[in-house]
Amino acid sequence: MKDDKYRALNEWVRKAGEGDQTAREMLLMSFKPLILTLINQYVYDPADYEDAYQDAACVFLEAVRDFELDAQVYFQVFIRSRLTNYFKKRREGRFDRSVTPEESLDQEIKSEGGAIALIELILDEKTDVEALCLYKEKNRRLIQAYEKLPPRQKAAFQHFFLQKGTLAELAKAEGVSPSVMTRACRSALKKLRQFV
């Protein structure tokens, strides 16, 4: 039974060395307890555990790639040695594989239409890009149409729909009858609907 496990392990090592992704994943999962034990032994700050595990997984996969089947050493010994050396160097501050941000996602990038933050360029898989583009185009046309409205229509529309005031109040402030403001607001709404 024990020999069968070692044969299976050697087969995974051989396949992983040839580039088989499934074999690499099986090896990584099989040696996860060893990796966690070494993290507990060499990493003192629990906040660093996750980064340490990710770093150890990278070191592990590189070691799988570097391991030679005809070497006079068992794979388990080779892996433990490679990981132990890595964690000793990491603890001493001589070697850290953790990713450090070189650029902020809030950094702005200049483009033809102005500046945009990097974070805005990352697409959410749930976002319907086509619908978003259509929505932006509709809004752009609506703003252009609003800018072309005569002053009285623009004032009536803004006061009634944006400021949530009554047209009677606006008519009183402008010194005109409420029906004039009602017609101005309706005309503005009719013109704006044409562009939507």
CATH of the domain at 81: 1.10.1740.10
Mind listing the pLDDT tens digit for each residue in 142-192? Answer: 888 888 889 888 888 888 888 888 888 888 888 998 899 899 989 988 888
In a shared domain, residues 87 and 135? no
Q: Domain span at residue 188?
A: 127-194
Q: Give the residue from 45, 69, 91 where a domain finishes.
A: 91
**Which residues in 24-169 belong to E strands, given as ranges?**
108-111, 114-117
Determine what percent of the chain is predicted with pLDDT higher than 90.
Answer: 3
Predicted confidence at residue 183, as pLDDT, reads 92
**Of 3-17, 22-36, 112-126, which has the strongest mean pLDDT?**
22-36
In a shared domain, residues 133 and 184? yes
Predicted confidence at residue 102, as pLDDT, reads 61
Instruction: Tell me, yes or no, whether 135 lies in a domain.
Output: yes
Q: Measured at the alpha carbon of residue 164, what is the angle toward residues 158 and 166, in degrees to the nearest 5?
A: 90
Q: Is the pLDDT of residue 59 over 60?
A: yes
Secondary structure of 117-178 in the HEC alphabet? EHHHHCCCCCCCHHHHHHHHHHHHHHHHHHHHCCHHHHHHHHHHHHCCCCHHHHHHHHCCCH
Q: Is the pLDDT of residue 119 over 80?
A: no
Confidence of residue 28 (pLDDT cuts 50, 70, 90): confident
Tell me the C-alpha to C-alpha distance, in Å, between residue 178 and each of 59, 83, 171, 182. Answer: 77, 82, 5, 6
User: Higher pLDDT residue, 109 or 164?
Assistant: 164
User: Higher pLDDT residue, 127 or 17?
Assistant: 17
- When divided into structural domains, the chain yields a total of 2
Mind listing the pLDDT tens digit for each residue in 67-86? Answer: 887 878 888 888 898 888 88
Average pLDDT, the chain: 80
In a shared domain, residues 12 and 77? yes
Q: Give the residue from 68, 91, 114 where a domain finishes.
A: 91
CATH number at residue 189: 1.10.10.10
Instruction: Tell me, yes or no, whether 160 lies in a domain.
Output: yes
In a shared domain, residues 187 and 132? yes
Sign of the C-alpha dihedral computed for residues 52, 55, 61 and 62 taken in this order: negative
